[in-house]
Amino acid sequence: MTTAAERSPRTYQVRTYGCQMNVHDSERISGLLEQAGYVRAEEADDSPDVVVFNTCAVRENADNRLYGNLGHLRPVKNRHPGMQIAVGGCLAQKDRGDIVRRAPWVDVVFGTHNIGALPALLERARHNAAAEVEILESLDVFPSTLPTRRESTYAGWVSISVGCNNTCTFCIVPALRGKEKDRRPGDILAEVRALVDEGVLEVTLLGQNVNSYGVEFGDRYAFGKLLRACGDIDGLERVRFTSPHPKDFTDDVIAAMAETPNVCPSLHMPLQSGSDDVLRAMRRSYRSERYLGIIEKVRTAIPHAAITTDIIVGFPGETEADFQRTLDVVRAARFSSAFTFQYSKRPGTPAATMDGQLPKQVVQERYERLVATVEEITWAENRKLVGETVEVLVAVGEGRKDERTGRLSGRARDGRLVHFDAGSYAGSIRPGDIVHTTVTYAAPHHLNADGEPLSHRRTRAGDAAEAGRSPRTPGVLLGLPTVGAPTATPASTTGCAAH
């Protein structure tokens, strides 16, 4: 006889490591599981029926973090025999069957190319009482055709491509995500319109190398055209994109950014190193002069643009003079934020076997100097905004209300984090609403606006959040058929340095 407990839906949690692409993939994983009848577990639930790890493989600590967390779950699973553990993402693509060998209590391992198979793999593992490992070598279904449980009512990710054709010597991503595959513009714009119809105000276009978009169907101006087409979508207020590559950054994209009102005045463009010798060893096909030239063009066209970057310290063979050149470029570029990394040796990459691997203490000392320089500059750049009026899209998660001060938070159009007083609007401002306020204080990584907001605009995204489709319980599943033709941050924050 089936008990009530046996009839209740199985619960799940998805735990995500890595870049924005992984975050977006996790939304797909959640959508697939909910479509299959699973229910999202409460955050406090330490023993959901299914735990999915969506992993990153860019840095060495990703391995340690995964296996450490798997170890913590082993006794939990022993106490709950029906529990299943699945591992997907880049590390799963890399380690494959080794995951089950090292952690035999894992039930499912799936790769970056077959996210859609997860529900079937979980069911098969339950039926056979054995681990299921399925890793495809190439893309089976473009991820954006899969159902999605979005984490926000007001902002959405839209993949325009997957994979990467570059051969950076430090990066393992092309081997795990494959060659670049581009979606057709009609498919992308259909997804953006569907998101806007659900109340989304802000869309971020995603790709491992977003501005090389169009290479697969032979249009080198496709990305600039796509930005302009997003400008024609009624109700879409903000467009962002990440991450571009300097080698593919063309003047038509700068013009599209400057001339399309809903494209935000922000740019994340990885530098990696300011030394031409190191860039050559990294197999990055630009040099510091070219990089700074792009920055100058962007600032000429969009004077108030906030530019962020990725930087790696301690690449094999990096000398003190090389490092000083990186500091020189940082000072010249005046970044508003930077993701900074200590070089991490990744097996399977050319850099892992290069001569000149640097001692940890040398890398650490340079890293600390870089962070100090970045923070000095970001603080100075933020102080320039004191007294300025900013438009803030109210957020949840990175902008939780401070119960003592009554502050809320969100992102300005240029991507900066803003903490602001709700003032007389307290109680009426929802995630997804728009507030205009005046900056009164600047810190290295955020702005404060301590006075009364100048205005508050209620939005459909705010209505959705108020109705219960908040980031914790969005209740929105988006499954789009294919249409048309076939197919930012504190300096110490970790992210994907692969671009």
Helix (H) / strand (E) element for 478: namely strand 477-478
Check residue 487 and give its pLDDT: 26
Check residue 270 and give its pLDDT: 96
Mean pLDDT across the stretch 318-328? 98
Mark which of 383, 403, 430 sits at the end of a domain.
383
SS (H, E, C) 276-333: HHHHHHHCCCCCHHHHHHHHHHHHHHCCCCEEEEEEEECCCCCCHHHHHHHHHHHHHH
Q: Is 202's pLDDT higher than 90? A: yes
Rounded to whole angstroms, the Cα distance separating 350 from 133 reads 28
**Are residue 379 and residue 394 in the same domain, yes or no?**
no
What mean pLDDT, rounded, does the chain reach?
A: 87
The domain that contains 400 carries what CATH number? 2.40.50
In this structure, is residue 27 part of a structural domain?
A: yes
Mean pLDDT across the stretch 127-136? 91
Check residue 163 and give its pLDDT: 85
Residue 197's pLDDT band (boundaries 50, 70, 90)? very high
Mean pLDDT across the stretch 197-215? 93
In this structure, is residue 496 part of a structural domain?
A: no
Check residue 490 and give its pLDDT: 34
Could you tell me the two tokens for 422? 């709700």
72-89 tens-digit pLDDT: 999 999 999 899 999 998
Q: Is 125's pLDDT higher than 90? A: yes
**Are residue 258 and residue 378 in the same domain, yes or no?**
yes
**Are residue 177 and residue 319 in the same domain, yes or no?**
yes
Total tally of structural domains belonging to the chain? 3
Between 112 and 386, name the one with better pLDDT. 386
Q: Is 327's pLDDT higher than 50? A: yes
Q: Is 238's pLDDT higher than 50? A: yes
**Are residue 270 and residue 307 in the same domain, yes or no?**
yes
Q: In one letter, which amino acid is 149?
A: R
Mark which of 361, 383, 405 sits at the end of a domain.
383
In this structure, is residue 85 part of a structural domain?
A: yes
- Does residue 411 contact residue 384 with C-beta atoms inside 8 Å? no
Q: Is 306's pLDDT higher than 60? A: yes
**Are residue 128 and residue 113 in the same domain, yes or no?**
yes
Q: For residue 359, what is the DSSP state?
A: P
**Are residue 172 and residue 35 in the same domain, yes or no?**
no
Q: In one letter, which amino acid is 256?
A: A
Mark which of 105, 134, 163 sits at the end of a domain.
134
Of the CA atoms within 13 Å of residue 212, those in its CB half-sphere come to 20
Between 135 and 229, name the one with better pLDDT. 229
Give this prediction's pTM: 0.83
**Are residue 406 and residue 336 in the same domain, yes or no?**
no
Check residue 144 and give its pLDDT: 67
Could you tell me the two tokens for 285? 């096909």
- Full residue range of the structural domain in which residue 22 is found: 4-134
Mean pLDDT across the stretch 250-273? 97
442-464 tens-digit pLDDT: 999 999 999 999 999 999 999 98
In this structure, is residue 140 part of a structural domain?
A: no
In this structure, is residue 497 part of a structural domain?
A: no
Check residue 74 and give its pLDDT: 94
Rounded to whole angstroms, the Cα distance separating 386 from 439 reads 5
In this structure, is residue 492 part of a structural domain?
A: no
361-382 tens-digit pLDDT: 999 999 999 999 999 999 999 9
Check residue 290 and give its pLDDT: 97
Could you tell me the two tokens for 466? 């108020």
Check residue 317 and give its pLDDT: 98
Check residue 140 and give its pLDDT: 63
Residue 184's pLDDT band (boundaries 50, 70, 90)? very high
Mean pLDDT across the stretch 109-129? 91
467-499 tens-digit pLDDT: 875 433 333 344 333 322 222 333 333 345 445
- Does residue 316 contact residue 343 with C-beta atoms inside 8 Å? yes
In this structure, is residue 481 part of a structural domain?
A: no
Check residue 458 and give its pLDDT: 96
Residue 333's pLDDT band (boundaries 50, 70, 90)? very high
Check residue 56 and give its pLDDT: 81
Rounded to whole angstroms, the Cα distance separating 49 from 378 reads 44
**Are residue 199 and residue 67 in the same domain, yes or no?**
no
2-38 tens-digit pLDDT: 444 456 899 999 998 877 777 888 888 988 999 899 9
**Are residue 240 and residue 339 in the same domain, yes or no?**
yes
Strand order in 441-442's β-sheet?
A: 441-442, 447-449, 417-421, 407-412, 389-394, 434-438, 455-457
Q: Is the omega angle on the peptide bond into residue 243 within 30 degrees of 0, that is, cis? A: yes
Check residue 64 and give its pLDDT: 80
Mean pLDDT across the stretch 305-309? 97
Between 158 and 56, name the one with better pLDDT. 158
Check residue 288 and give its pLDDT: 97
Range of lowest pLDDT (149-163, 181-195, 250-264, 394-408): 394-408
In this structure, is residue 493 part of a structural domain?
A: no
The domain that contains 179 carries what CATH number? 3.80.30.20
Q: Which residue has the tokens 């591992």?
A: 87
Mean pLDDT across the stretch 200-222? 93
Q: Is 1's pLDDT higher than 50? A: no
Q: Is 427's pLDDT higher than 70? A: yes
